[in-house]
Structure 1
């Protein structure tokens, strides 16, 4: 019996170690932002093993495709997961391997709502040559080389980015864009230009 209790305690400790360490009582999603959980959008389970990681950076992406105003966030997330979990061709002709799940942790849609994507406990995926382990990945819907960030997205990001940084003790200089780590235009010029302002919001929070 004693050995069983020791084993149970050890397993509980290991499971606890996989949770992202929140260093404040700041909520993950600030008040006033519409949030859609994986359960609410009907997420499937991951199809492959994933890598546990510790969050040390906050990295912004864009989806790189046109904004869709007439589709629900739930539909977009289901489609993104379906694409992510299969082998599919990319725009440049390469084949994307199957990933375990949606490659990002949080998705900000055109209306400023936030969808829960990959579990924060696990590193994301990328088609580019950087290792996203340690990065909390936030993707914003749109191609910001060609279109504007919506006012609703801007309002959400102004609340969400400093809240995430505070919750996980991510310093302002550890906020970046995908292009800071790989050869890509992501998150697009329009969104990348907002990052200095978000760093100031983190410092002031």
Structure 2
């Protein structure tokens, strides 16, 4: 999700050996009463974060959704050390601040392939412990006021996460859900909000399992079955869903073929719809590694669908 290039990202900041465990969490009194223990989370001071370039906005409400991401870069590395996790956090912050132009890291928390959890945007840990307010991030375009995000290091389009990453993800999501009173069915993937591959098809397909495991830790009933509202279509896809999209695009005045093939003209039309409607870019934007321009997902479908036709025939066709 937070796309950064390992070869070019700055490696500034203190090393893990230099800072030790500064900023590592302890179990708070509020957490002790919640029944879900706070996992070990290394604060911004621990990994040598740069100070933000602006004021961190803390909103006076709880987030509605917990959103799972993948970082894409630096890929599925086999360095599972705390030192590497701190380096990755610095690299993400450098990319977000120096390339994206944001005031700080976009997401609230980061999870490494070694299972090490770090605070992302400043004040996220402090505010989470309070359990009543929300640090505004930049990880879910047009939905940041309702979402708290966790970046998972790696690319999970075809490969699975490491056991260590999975275990720490379960613990972190359960802790957030406990602090804010969020039900498991409100654990989402980034693609549920934006037209993006994130958090990768493999990890996205494990979200029902994540909801179940988190529900067990919360002592709640089995979560409701989650059915994505809109399918994700990408250039190169084929089939009846692509044909439906092309029919709708033609109704909107785009000269695309209705052949069920997501080719260049369909991609250009989808990109034009996104641009005309000012859809925000976030940490899953295009890089040299992955270009998601022209993806058709949760934020674009409503812009091309006929009003009032989400149910009925259109729903049946998209579900096929």
Task: Give the shorter-chain TM-score range.
Answer: 0.7 to 0.9
In 2, Cα distance between the equivalents of 1:130 and 1:183? 12
- Unmatched tracts of structure 1, length 5 or more: 1-20, 89-95
> Which structure 2 residues correspond to residues 115-194 of structure 1 after superposition, within 5 A?
115-118=118-121, 119-120=123-124, 121-126=134-139, 129-194=141-206
Counterpart in 2 of 1:82?
94
CA distance in 2, matches of 1:194, 1:130: 25
Cα distance in 1, alignment partners of residues 97 and 182 from structure 2: 29
Report the counterpart of residue 57 of structure 1 in structure 2.
Answer: 65
Quick check: which has more Rg, 1 or 2?
2
Q: What residue in structure 1 maps to residue 113 of structure 2?
A: 110
Q: Are 1:38 and 2:47 an aligned pair? A: no
Q: What residue number does 1:29 align with?
A: 38
- Alpha-carbon contact 1:22-1:169 (below 8 Å) kept: no
**Cross-structure match for 1:196:** 208
Give the Cα–Cα distance (whole angstroms) in 2 for the partners of residues 76 and 51 of structure 1.
Answer: 24
Closer/same/farther in 2, CA of residues 76 and 182 from structure 1, 3 Å limit: same
Aligned length: 172
For structure 2, list consecutive stretches of 5 or more residues without a partner in the other structure: 1-29, 125-133, 219-320
- TM-fit CA distance, 1:154: 1.3
CA contact (8 A) 2:170 2:213 kept: yes
Q: Could you say which structure has the greater relative contact order, defined with CA pairs below 8 angstroms and 6 or more residues apart?
A: 1
Query: For residues 163 and 40 of structure 1, do their structure 2 counterparts lie closer, same or farther at Cα, with a shift above 3 Å needed?
Result: same
Q: What residue number does 1:16 align with?
A: none
Q: TM-score, normalised by structure 2?
A: 0.49
Over aligned residue pairs, what C-alpha RMSD do you find?
A: 2.3
Displacement of 1:50 in angstroms is 3.4
Query: 1:28 touches 1:164 (CA, 8 Å); kept in 2?
Result: no
Distance 1:116 1:47 in 2: 17
Superimposed CA distance per residue, residues 147-175 of structure 1 (whole angstroms, 9 cap, x where no aligned partner): 32011111212222222211211112211
SS at match of 1:60: strand
Would the alpha carbon gap of residues 57 and 183 (structure 1) be closer, same or farther in structure 2, given more than 3 Å must change? same
Relative to its length, the structure with more strand (as a share) is 1
State the shift of 1:68 in Å: 2.8
- Is 2:103 aligned against 1:100? yes
